[in-house]
A = this chain, B = another copy of it.
């Protein structure tokens, strides 16, 4: 089991969700985050002075998956969230040792 963590543009969330649905991946957890990378921030103005805001709104997705679906899912997310401009975001894959579905107590891949 793997945990995919993807940081994407807020405007691509729906596309990504659709792509995942198509792959049969239904479960995911979404967090509103702010990110910084190569993407330039914007400046904000406050009473005649400018301030650089370089933490930009992003969406962070967490998706737990069985091993075999990971590649597909990563690709799906990639395609759906790519605009080609700086700031598209990142995908990280991390191993999961155990997974539990709280409702049923199921463990492991069934619990996903």
Instruction: Indicate if A50 sits at the interface (CB-CB under 8 A).
Output: no
- Given contact pairs A92-B99, A93-B96, A35 touches B29 in the complex (Cβ within 8 A): yes
A30/B8 in contact, CB under 8 A: no
* Known interface pairs A29-B33, A36-B26; A103-B74 also in contact (CB < 8 Å): no
In the complex, how many residues of chain A place their beta carbon closer than 8 angstroms to a beta carbon of chain B?
54
CB-based contact A90/B102 at 8 Å: yes
Write the chain B residue with the least CB distance to A21: B36
Q: Is A68 an interface residue (CB 8 A)?
A: no
A2 x B97 contact (CB < 8 A): yes
- Check: A69 CB closer than 8 A to any chain B CB: no
Is the pair B35, A33 in contact by a Cβ cutoff of 8 Å?
no
On chain B, the residues within 8 Å of A3 by CB distance are 5, 92, 94
B29 touches A7 (CB 8 A): yes
Residues of A within 8 A of B (CB): 2-3, 5-8, 17, 26-38, 55, 58, 60, 62, 64, 74, 77-78, 81-103, 105, 111-112
